[in-house]
């Protein structure tokens, strides 16, 4: 008998128990909670005068810098009196993740209902911590599209790949149904200028007005969906007495350490939180719509509304200029054909994505790289973000003046380009500017996974002032912080810097990393990227 025979027999004996262990998802009881009335809350009273001055319009404020983006979230959590609803793809158990959760616990202690919906695979959170937080009487945590077996998550995911391949990539924060934050940021140090190794250039928008109930409807749709499973249903018999206090004590201890204190002191110097208390923010005003995927996006039996379908008419109506910011950019043959057609119509198409040295996902870069040449041949202006943080004082996405001018009344491409000691920059903003008039900001990347598989959300905002400023900042940003791509006489891609330096291969990337990208490009994985 071969030595492999016993191993094969063992595998056959073990497989059925493993398959059974992956099991089915718990059956969630129907929601019976009554809607919460928030019209008389502090946030409602604060926003009412502004909304009265701009009837039927949405107020939008770009959160361009990481610390500002965190401060606004903390301020909204502190101001909320009735309800906080949160939906995220990733929530790290790091400094800013714990700081945010500590502020949410403070709100829950005041009697605020806190609902948190996390993507199970994206967040990859510790169930014990989630259970402890969920033990608070005013906190409920649900996992979207979770793996059934909590102890064998990776195996469970592999054995149920068709279902778990769809992820909830949405990112929303709603306070008292009166103000919302939507955009590209997850919750974690790299999104809020707290990671010394890398900082994401990212973008959120704070909104008040008619678009807020639209975002709320999206949250409620996901929260009530059958795949939004309360974490406690996975552990019905697990004792939780005292666990919440242990988590609180752990949070207090971390927030007292040296790195946390230095970051908190830096936060205290920022002015946004004080200005938010009176909502003295330079809002842009315009008509807005929340565009979002239905949670049944992949169900062939459901007629699900798709974000891309709702955004398509705006893209098709573009006549002069289209600016795209997408960190994970894989246009596919259809996207190249579309952009080529726009160029033939006289539309100027500009795209900013990550360079190989800047990207955090080399596999996605492998999917993108093969489209550079056909895009350039079609006339598309292609730019890739450099990995080097800009020099001090140049933080506002080309706002022309240092950090303050970008944040106070800036337009939105400056987010996170104001690096404070991070050793590497990476683009994470997702934005589209159509004819310098319509602006879409959200979680949507221009890649197959965002368009076909994951669920996404964003805000489509009509404003000539914002559109013009974002388009101008795009031009200044790529001139300063990105490589300009072109084709040489032999049809090979080249990278140029503003000072005249020229590269004939991926700048500032190792030969090993370039080899990995080439190897990844051989794999038939584009539909999954």
- What are the residue numbers of the active site? 169, 171, 176, 428, 430, 435
Tokens read off for 337: 């054909």
Q: Is 257 exposed, middle or buried, given 0-12, 13-18 or 19+ CB atoms closer than 10 A?
A: exposed
Pairing of strands 58-63, 204-208: antiparallel
Q: What gap in Å lies between CA 515 and CA 505, rounded to an integer?
A: 12
Residue whose structure tokens are 């996170």? 416
Please say whether the beta carbons of 367 and 361 come within 8 A: no
Residue 291 three-state SS = strand
Please say whether the beta carbons of 90 and 192 come within 8 A: no
Residue whose structure tokens are 């004080």? 274
HEC profile for 43-65?
HHHHHHHHHHHCCCCEEEEEECC
- DSSP string over 509-528: --HHHHHHHHHHHTSS-GGG
Question: Which of 47, 53, 51, 105 has its CA nearest to residue 74?
Answer: 105
Q: What's the DSSP call for residue 335? A: H
Please say whether the beta carbons of 211 and 463 come within 8 A: no
Q: What gap in Å lies between CA 406 and CA 289, rounded to an integer?
A: 25
Residue whose structure tokens are 């103000």? 179
Residue 484 three-state SS = strand
Pairing of strands 438-442, 431-434: antiparallel
């Amino acid at each position: 008998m071969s030595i492999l025979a016993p191993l094969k027999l063992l595998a056959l004996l073990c497989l059925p128990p493993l398959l059974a262990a992956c099991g089915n998802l718990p059956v969630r009881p129907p929601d019976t909670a009554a809607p919460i009335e928030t019209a008389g809350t502090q946030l409602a009273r604060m926003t009412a005068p502004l909304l009265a001055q701009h009837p039927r319009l949405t107020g939008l404020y770009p959160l361009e810098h990481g610390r500002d983006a965190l401060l606004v979230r903390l301020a909204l959590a502190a101001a909320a009196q009735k309800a906080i609803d949160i939906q995220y793809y990733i929530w790290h158990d790091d400094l800013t993740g714990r700081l945010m959760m500590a502020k949410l616990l403070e709100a829950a202690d005041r009697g605020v209902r806190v609902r948190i919906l996390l993507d199970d695979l994206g967040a990859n959170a510790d169930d014990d911590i989630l259970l402890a937080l969920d033990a608070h009487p005013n906190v409920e945590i649900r996992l979207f599209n979770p793996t059934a077996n909590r102890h064998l998550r990776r195996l469970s995911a592999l054995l149920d790949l068709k279902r778990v391949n769809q992820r909830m990539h949405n990112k929303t924060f709603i306070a008292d149904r009166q103000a919302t934050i939507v955009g590209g940021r997850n919750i974690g140090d790299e999104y809020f200028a707290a990671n010394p190794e890398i900082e994401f250039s990212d973008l959120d928008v704070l909104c008040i007005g008619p678009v807020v109930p639209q975002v709320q409807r999206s949250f409620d749709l996901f929260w009530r969906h059958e795949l939004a499973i309360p974490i406690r249903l996975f552990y019905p018999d697990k004792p939780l007495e005292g666990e919440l206090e242990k988590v609180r004590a752990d949070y207090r201890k971390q927030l007292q350490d040296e790195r946390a204190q230095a970051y908190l002191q830096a936060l205290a110097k920022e002015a946004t939180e004080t200005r938010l208390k009176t909502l003295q923010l330079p809002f842009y005003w315009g008509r807005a719509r929340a565009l979002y995927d239905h949670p049944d996006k992949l169900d062939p039996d459901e007629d699900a509304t798709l974000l891309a379908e709702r955004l398509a008419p705006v893209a098709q109506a573009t006549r002069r200029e289209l600016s795209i910011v997408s960190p994970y950019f894989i246009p596919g043959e259809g996207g190249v054909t579309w952009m080529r057609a726009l160029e033939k119509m006289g539309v100027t198409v500009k795209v900013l994505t990550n360079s190989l040295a800047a990207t955090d996902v080399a596999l996605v870069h492998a999917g993108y790289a093969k489209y550079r040449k056909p895009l350039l041949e079609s006339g598309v202006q292609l730019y890739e973000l450099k990995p080097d943080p800009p020099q001090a004082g140049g933080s506002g996405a080309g706002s022309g003046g240092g950090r303050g001018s970008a944040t106070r009344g800036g337009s939105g491409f400056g987010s996170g380009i104001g690096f404070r000691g991070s050793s590497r920059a990476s683009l994470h903003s997702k934005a589209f500017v159509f004819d310098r008039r319509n602006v879409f900001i959200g979680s949507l990347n221009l890649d197959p996974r965002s368009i076909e598989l994951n669920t996404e959300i964003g805000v489509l905002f009509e404003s000539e002032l914002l559109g013009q400023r974002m388009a101008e900042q795009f031009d200044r940003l790529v001139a300063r912080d990105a490589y300009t791509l072109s084709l040489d006489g032999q049809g090979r891609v080249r990278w140029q810097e503003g000072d005249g330096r020229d590269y004939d291969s991926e700048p500032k990337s190792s030969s090993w990393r370039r080899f990995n990208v080439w190897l990844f490009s051989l794999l038939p994985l584009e539909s999954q990227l």
